[in-house]
Amino acid sequence: MSKHYPDQKPAFLFDETERSTHNAINADSFRALQADRDAARARLEKAEEWAKKTIAEMNVMRSELESFKAQAEQQSVPNARAETTYLNIIGAMLELMKSPRPGRDSDTAVIDEIERNYRDKPGISTRTLQEKFAAAKRSLSAS
């Protein structure tokens, strides 16, 4: 029937797949196409696995980069509050240098005078001044 009347495939003799299959496709060509499809599917699965792995690695690298950027930004530029503290301390020190007085020969005496005269300024407190003076001394001795 399919050899002599290829365009006539009644439903009682042929199922849906056989009726929709082209005449030029036989069992051997179907198996060859199926093998090619299976090989392509295997390559696709490997490529998808590689892509997922690569994307995951890229995401890790992106997050590390963002972390490094954030660290660099924090270390290179002091925030506005820290800068105000430094400027207030420097300004107070300049004023003290312009008016030398006896008895101002220790850090404690300098800190007490700065705090007494500039306590209303942000960053001027005994604790902050002690920390900044100690850090300044370490910085000078390291240079």
What is the tens place of the pLDDT at every residue in 75-126? Answer: 766 778 888 888 888 888 888 887 777 777 788 888 898 998 998 999 899 9
Domain span at residue 84 reads: 80-142
Q: Does some domain include residue 111?
A: yes
Q: What is the pLDDT of residues 37-61, one digit of tens each?
A: 999 999 999 999 999 999 999 999 9
Asked if the structure places residue 89 within a domain, the reply is yes
Cα atoms found within 13 Å of the Cα of residue 33, Cβ hemisphere only = 7
Q: Is the residue at 134 inside a domain? A: yes
Which region holds residue 18: left if phi is over 0, alpha if psi is between -120 and 50, else beta?
A: alpha
Task: Measure the CA–CA gap between 19 and 23, rounded to whole angstroms.
Answer: 9
Domain-located, residue 92: yes
Q: Specify the pLDDT at position 78.
A: 73
Total tally of structural domains belonging to the chain: 1
Q: What pLDDT does 66 receive?
A: 94
The predicted-structure confidence for 123-133, as pLDDT tens digits, reads as follows 899 999 999 88
CB contact burial 48-82 (16+ within 10 A = b; e otherwise) = eeeeeeeeeeeeeeeeeeeeeeeeeeeeeeeeeee
Does residue 116 form part of some domain? yes
Q: Is residue 131 part of a domain?
A: yes
Q: Is residue 56 part of a domain?
A: no
